[in-house]
Amino acid sequence: MKRDTGLDYLLDLAGELIVHDDGTWIKIEARLLDQPTKGRPHGIKYSLTLHDRDGRRLLGFDNAHEIGAGKHSFYVGRRVEFDHKHSDEKVVPYQFQSAEQLLLDFFASVDRFLSESNE
């Protein structure tokens, strides 16, 4: 069986905080599940987030979870049953293809978000 190096890389990054010169920072969480679930059919629980210097989430990619009070008012009390991304108080579906593509998409979104913020 071919080794999934993208998954290895994602799991190696789990627990990392990456701090940028402007004070924004990235937090990466990822772990393998014992078995896939409806909300996590790829068998990975993940959350990749960009935060401002005060800790407020600016951008995030994660998978199924319940939305708590005060977050994304339209979704409060609902469960998001799919991989998705958060940006500007919006929750939109994200099509998970692989751990490698997740990392590429997340870091491209971070670069885009930060460059648009600096304009």
pLDDT tens digits, one per residue of 31-81: 999 988 776 778 888 999 999 999 988 888 888 554 544 444 444 444 444
* Number of domains the chain contains: 1
Residues ≥6 apart with Cβ < 8 Å to 37:
64
Of 43, 40, 44, 48, nearest to 15 by C-alpha is 48
Query: Which domain does 83 fall in, by range?
Result: 5-117
Which amino acid would we find at residue 90? K
pTM of the complete model: 0.79
Q: Cα-flanking dihedrals φ and ψ of residue 75, to 5°?
A: -100, -5
Cα–Cα distance, 90 to 92 (Å, whole number): 6
